[in-house]
Amino acid sequence: MLQPGCVEEIDDVVPDVPINVTLPLIHYNLSPASSMIVTNQMVSALSLGYDNNGLIIYCDVSDYYAYDRTCPYHVEESIPVEISDNQLYAECPVCHSRFQLWFNGFPTDDSPSKYPLKQYKTTYYPNSNSLHIYN
């Protein structure tokens, strides 16, 4: 498995799309080690993620991570990944690649995809209990 610190540069196979949205977390029960799918209807955005596939937000003990839902193995087909039952992985319904949400979206060793999920920057604002997602 690729370790984030051991690779000089990882190709980002999912095309860049502008992201600049704030998600009010007060409406969602996002506890540590859990995740949720965010769609453009939830944040009143015209487009959210590559090909409007949406985002996955993962809450760690002290951080929030935002990933594009587009499977990096199926970019051309624009296949969105789904959250696993335990909310620790995202999985492609077509190729069954599994991405570790707590580990920067990297695929598991047995996944067809060798690229991680596209990750966006996040800033959490505790006073307003909101999450800014941007690139």
The answer to whether residue 101 scores a pLDDT higher than 70 is: yes
Domain limits for position 95: 17-134
The answer to whether residue 35 scores a pLDDT higher than 90 is: yes
The CATH number of the domain holding residue 101 is 2.102.10.10
The answer to whether residue 4 scores a pLDDT higher than 90 is: no
The confidence score (pLDDT) of residue 27 equals 81
What type of residue is 128? S
The confidence score (pLDDT) of residue 44 equals 72
Instruction: Using pLDDT thresholds of 50, 70 and 90, give the confidence band for residue 45.
Output: confident
Q: Domain tally for the chain?
A: 1
Q: Which long-range contacts (CB under 8 A, 24 or more apart) does 99-104 make?
A: 99/67, 101/35, 101/56, 101/58, 101/65, 101/67, 102/33, 102/58, 102/60, 102/65, 103/4, 104/4, 104/65
Residue 88 CA to residue 12 CA, distance in Å, equals: 22
Please check whether residue 5 lies inside any domain of the structure. no
The answer to whether residue 13 scores a pLDDT higher than 90 is: yes
Q: Which residue has the higher pLDDT, 41 or 52?
A: 52
The reported pTM is 0.89
Residue 28 CA to residue 105 CA, distance in Å, equals: 22
Q: What is the mean pLDDT of the chain?
A: 90
Instruction: Using pLDDT thresholds of 50, 70 and 90, give the confidence band for residue 1.
Output: very low
The answer to whether residue 7 scores a pLDDT higher than 70 is: no
Please check whether residue 81 lies inside any domain of the structure. yes
Question: 91 and 84 in contact (C-beta within 8 Å)?
Answer: yes
Please check whether residue 1 lies inside any domain of the structure. no
